[in-house]
Structure 1
Amino acid sequence: MRADCIYDIIKKFGCFSYDCILFDGPWGIGKTYAIDKALEEQENVCSISMFGLQNSQQIYHEVLCQFVLKNNKAGKIAGAATEVLDGISNIWKSVSSVKEVLQSIAREKELFLLLSKGFDSLHIIVIDDLERVSDRINIEEVFGIVEELKKCNNVKIILVANIDELQENNKEIFKKHNEKVIDRIYHITEKPEKINWGEIGIHAGFMQEFLSVHKVKNLRTLKKAQRFYDDVYILVNQIDNQQFKDEIRLICFAIVVESTDNLYYKQNDNEDDSNKKIFNELHNELLYRILLYLQEVRSSRNLVNILLEYYNNQIVLSTSDIMLEYKIFLQAGNKPNYFKTDDEIRRILPKIEDDIVKATTIGELNRNADEYEMWSETIGEDNASMLDKYREIVRNLLWNEVKKENEDILGYSYDLWHLEAEKVKEIYEEERNAVRKMVIQHYVDYLKETTKGKMAFEYSRKLREYCANNYYKEIIKENIDKLYNRKSFPVDEIDSVQYHTCYNIMSVLYHINQDRFLEYSDELSKQCDNMSAHRMDVLIREIIRIID
């Protein structure tokens, strides 16, 4: 049964002889949505979620508060409540205030049962999320309350549940007692056919087209997908290109729907067929399944990758990330690159190469180079000169970042940039390592000349930190000979900053080769004055204490 049927059933509920009905169906099928639509014009409705209630008797508190103690739609009832509360002392002599009445669950129950005798129109109580009932609450208790509410004048009950998700102990109770309490159960198997998508913030045209291809059954999944798109849209709302925004939305929906509902996941029916098993494993990879939604998009696969990683909380997405992808989107023309001919690809390659030359950030450079190499390789176009340009530019940009004291960028592998082209990956790693060597050589060359000043201290501190990294340690080892000179030790006339710089250098020397360091230090201490030898001895003992 489609969830649309809920609307017609509830509209006729007042004429039915049923006092309690239950709508059963999977989570997200649209039960609550359809019920809310059917009851939106009904004056006297109380909606309760069992999720979060710690005591079944709280149901009475909810119906009392929602039906009686409100004055927006139920003025007559509010007036009746006043009369009842004015005379409440005749029933409970010990009660001195309304507040005390409401603090007593038992009294709330009695108050509502008494007050319901004056109901002259239909009152509907919706009890939702029955399967999410707390461990402290037994379904039998809830059924007992429903039985009591059914006896009230002009009160009907709608229960909402996913019976399959009831806890095992509650399933047995449900099977035993449901026929006594529930007059009819409606099984909802399909989401509503007619949904006002605008009301839930989803573009109707997009949704109709999306569902015509991808048979999503879970309305909650679609709402989740819309929320993800709303999140990403904050970063794209300044872009004046509706097609790009539409593709962003499609990618967001593809990511959420396939990650949640696994529409295109295929079970391997024949485990003995190894070839089929391997084929299924490849096609069951999440990224592959997501791409099944995106066969007509112009946007790059890298955009899909970064949005998927953002959805999985693996990265922080920025406006600059989106803008770089937008530039690639514009380069692709009106037809996705994947569907272009060789000649069409050749026509866009010069523009991409121009963007490579003009790139001012590593991210922009890498994404354009990746795009160029991937398509030029596909059509057999010679890309050697472009790769040479890329090598030179990426090294310069990395070095410029280092000079701006952004050395952390040297710790980022090509994975951070979502590179796919193997040659670009290889060059990036080679140049990243080359710049790492340049950094160490620069520090060592500076320190071999002087250990004076704040710059020398900073270089020595970084050199000491890099010693903890095995990759950098090997580079330092290749350059260490330059630091075996008198300037690296606290001898002769020095100041406090220089003293700490020498400590850092001595720590590096000891870390690389302890025997050589101690032998050199012993020889140097015989050549300098007593105070210099004493300072060296203090630092050596401190270094040995910390490292060993």
Structure 2
Amino acid sequence: MNTLEELVYYCREPEPIGALLLTGEWGCGKTYLIEHGLREALKGEAVVLRISLFGISTLEGIHEAVKQAWLDIYCKNKGVDKIAGKAQRIKEIATKLDFLPELIKGLASTNLTSFIEIEEKIDDKAVILVFDDLERCCMDNVDVLGAINDYCENQKFRTIIVANQDKIQNKQKNTQIDAEIEFDEQQKSINTNSAKKQAIIKLNVPPKEAQGEISYTEIKEKIIQRTVKYVPDYSDIVHMVVEKMKYQESECGVDGYKAFIKRYESGLLELFAPDRDQYIDNNSRTEMDNLKSLFESEKTIDKKYTLQSHNRPHNIRSLKCAIRDFYRVYLILCDNDLENIDRWFFSFVSYVISCKADIAKEDYYGTILSDEEVRMLYPAFQNRYMLNAVKKWILHGVWDKRAINHEIMIIKKREKAKTSDEIVRMNRIMDIDEEVVNEGLPIVLDMAYDGTLTLDEYVQFIMNSFWARTYNFPLPVLVDWNKVQVGINNCINTLIDTQPEGQQLHSMIGKEDREHFTEDEWSTYRIIEEFQNGNLLMFSKNRKQYIGGMKADALLSFQTCQNKRYN
């Protein structure tokens, strides 16, 4: 039996002995299965009432939610609109509730649930109570299950409990332990001629059987007749997400964003189901085999990968968010004519799902450690297909289109880099072959001394010095940081003299990372930072504009430049 068949089988049993527990990880589609699959399967023979326990903090709140759900369905079957409407319609509604005494009908107020007792059937259809989000209830799990047991055992409702059992902890109530402190006066000290007192603490610990209440495991054994683990059909789920999602219309690409997503539906399936072969038909196997090579290209067969792959999040909401959000990145990638957009897409989806599961995050070392964990979970994730500015957007909600475009410009330059010095200037040192570093770094160092690197390349040079030290990568030459600082000043003077258009610096190092750098590295970077923060290039342009304008029209030049800064 699949999961839905298990639920239907339970609902059709003559008289269940206890409740059925449907368990599965967050976001895997348990609620959707109840709202759509189970309701459709039992249509015409049973009424499914789903009660969310999310945020409920009292037993009265649970009973109120059950009555409200029952009453909503009852009123709907009687042809009455939502009962939470305006007060002037309350009496009209109350007159149609044939189970209420006439006196109660006359006194009915907006809270009709205070006057009703729910029944096992509505119009000869069995009522199925589904309590969702058990682990998100604000009450103790034992108390909640005790309340649910009343409906199941005493009132004979068929009851389904939906929960992520892995998130449920056995919660014990605090046990009060009394303590007494006694002081025992000792003999006087010879040196101080004063008496010492010794404190004695006595704890009155209750017997073990009197401590706390019964555990979740114990009450579960009493209440739960059967536990069913939800095993989703990932093939159907991914297909449903792709087909039913609303997409923005776009002329970008050959046939639009929706067609792009549909083309790589099988890749999305791989993110959710490593063993997706069982879902593939023979007609599409050739294409699937080609795609699978992408996902297996960086897999390791060690025990760590095997354990990690079983912990992949399968949150459908996260998948939907990833597909929706990638649209903005997709447009920029298309505008810049980047290739392998599918690989950018798979890396993005992997990172979003990991971020929402608190796997991808930024710590003391940035995202280096969590990136490796993401890669172990999702082999399709590759840092070369993930922009730092996009990571910042995912992690911190900061969208910077200019930074994204700059990174893409750098990527294009890297792809065009042919000589060893071009490769060293444009890439992180740990991403370059040792032979290329040994050949290209001396050339780059001479350029750094001469001031012929760009400011971004100087920042990259400083970062590579840090990375080399971090990864114990021996540099083929020693760096004279005094000469590098002279080179940076020469570069800045050239910029002031030539005054090129556009932003001259895009790469920055955060002050919070100061401790990772040596004094020489940081003092070198500070020259670049002070130039950027001091707006020296802008002031120089303003001075040049003012002086040039004074020669042509002094009054107009003064009016144009009077609000600008020059130093």
- How does the TM-score come out when normalised to structure 1? 0.53
1:183 alignment partner, SS class: strand
Q: Write the deviation string for residues 220-259 of structure 1: whole angstroms up to 9, x where unpaired.
A: 5463365256335424424324623632541452364278
1:45 alignment partner, SS class: strand
Q: Which runs of 5+ in 2 are unaligned?
A: 83-91, 174-211, 243-260, 275-298, 300-307, 418-422, 444-451, 544-557
Q: Which has the higher helix share?
A: 1
Change (3 A) 1:343 1:182: closer
In structure 1, C-alpha distance between the alignment counterparts of 2:122 and 2:531, rounded to whole Å: 86
Q: Does 1:62 align with 2:157?
A: no
Q: Write the deviation string for residues 416-460 of structure 1: whole angstroms up to 9, x where unpaired.
A: 8999999997754333346778969x99xx9xxxxxx99999979
Match of 2:3 in 1: 6
Structure 2 letter corresponding to 1:208: L
- Is the CA contact (8 Å cut-off) linking 2:21 and 2:227 kept in structure 1? yes
2:309 alignment partner, SS class: coil
Match of 2:410 in 1: 328
- The structural deviation recorded for 1:50 is 0.6
Change (3 A) 1:204 1:192: same
Deviates more, 1:431-440 or 1:135-144: 431-440
- Is the CA contact (8 Å cut-off) linking 2:360 and 2:367 kept in structure 1? no
In structure 1, C-alpha distance between the alignment counterparts of 2:436 and 2:565, rounded to whole Å: 52
Structure 2 letter corresponding to 1:159: I
Structure 2 letter corresponding to 1:310: W
1:211-290 to 2 correspondences below 5 Å: 211-212=273-274, 215=309, 217=311, 219=313, 221=315, 223-224=317-318, 226-228=320-322, 230-231=324-325, 233-240=327-334, 241=338, 243-244=340-341, 246-254=343-351, 256-257=353-354, 260=357, 262=359, 285-290=369-374
In structure 1, C-alpha distance between the alignment counterparts of 2:138 and 2:467, rounded to whole Å: 55
Change (3 A) 1:234 1:136: same
- Is the CA contact (8 Å cut-off) linking 2:318 and 2:353 kept in structure 1? yes
Match of 1:158 in 2: 160
Change (3 A) 1:340 1:229: farther
Structure 2 letter corresponding to 1:22: L
1:43-122 to 2 correspondences below 5 Å: 43=43, 44-54=47-57, 55-70=61-76, 85-86=95-96, 88=98, 91-96=101-106, 100=109, 103-108=111-116, 110=117, 112-113=118-119, 116-122=120-126
- Is the CA contact (8 Å cut-off) linking 2:323 and 2:349 kept in structure 1? yes
Change (3 A) 1:144 1:250: same
- Number of paired residues? 404
Match of 1:184 in 2: 226
- The structural deviation recorded for 1:171 is 7.7
- The structural deviation recorded for 1:9 is 0.3
Deviates more, 1:46-55 or 1:251-260: 251-260
Match of 2:19 in 1: 20
Q: Which has the larger radius of gyration?
A: 1
Change (3 A) 1:282 1:424: closer
- The structural deviation recorded for 1:103 is 1.0
Match of 1:414 in 2: 509
Structure 2 letter corresponding to 1:41: E
- The structural deviation recorded for 1:129 is 1.3
Q: Write the deviation string for residues 375-414 of structure 1: whole angstroms up to 9, x where unpaired.
A: 9x9997999999999765566668999x99x9xx99x953
In structure 2, C-alpha distance between the alignment counterparts of 1:217 and 1:329, rounded to whole Å: 33
Structure 1 letter corresponding to 2:343: D
- Is the CA contact (8 Å cut-off) linking 1:387 and 1:424 kept in structure 2? no
Structure 1 letter corresponding to 2:4: Y
Structure 2 letter corresponding to 1:215: S
Match of 1:198 in 2: 239
In structure 2, C-alpha distance between the alignment counterparts of 1:64 and 1:233, rounded to whole Å: 42
- The structural deviation recorded for 1:345 is 13
* CA RMSD across the alignment: 6.2
- Is the CA contact (8 Å cut-off) linking 2:104 and 2:115 kept in structure 1? no
- The structural deviation recorded for 1:106 is 3.3
- Is the CA contact (8 Å cut-off) linking 1:27 and 1:162 kept in structure 2? yes
- The structural deviation recorded for 1:91 is 1.9
Change (3 A) 1:370 1:346: farther
Choose from 254, 265, 269 the match for 1:208.
269
- Is the CA contact (8 Å cut-off) linking 1:24 and 1:185 kept in structure 2? yes
1:16 alignment partner, SS class: coil
2:20 alignment partner, SS class: strand
In structure 1, C-alpha distance between the alignment counterparts of 2:381 and 2:163, rounded to whole Å: 39
- The structural deviation recorded for 1:127 is 0.8
- How does the TM-score come out when normalised to structure 2? 0.51
1:301-320 to 2 correspondences below 5 Å: 303-313=386-396, 316-320=398-402
The share of aligned pairs that are identical, in percent, is: 14
In structure 2, C-alpha distance between the alignment counterparts of 1:177 and 1:191, rounded to whole Å: 28
Match of 1:41 in 2: 40
Match of 1:531 in 2: none
Change (3 A) 1:217 1:84: farther
1:168 alignment partner, SS class: coil
- Is the CA contact (8 Å cut-off) linking 1:45 and 1:124 kept in structure 2? yes
Change (3 A) 1:87 1:434: closer
- The structural deviation recorded for 1:339 is 7.8
- Is the CA contact (8 Å cut-off) linking 2:29 and 2:316 kept in structure 1? no
Match of 2:254 in 1: none
Change (3 A) 1:57 1:14: closer
In structure 2, C-alpha distance between the alignment counterparts of 1:282 and 1:458, rounded to whole Å: 38
- The structural deviation recorded for 1:7 is 2.0
- The structural deviation recorded for 1:320 is 1.6
In structure 2, C-alpha distance between the alignment counterparts of 1:70 and 1:430, rounded to whole Å: 73
Match of 1:472 in 2: none
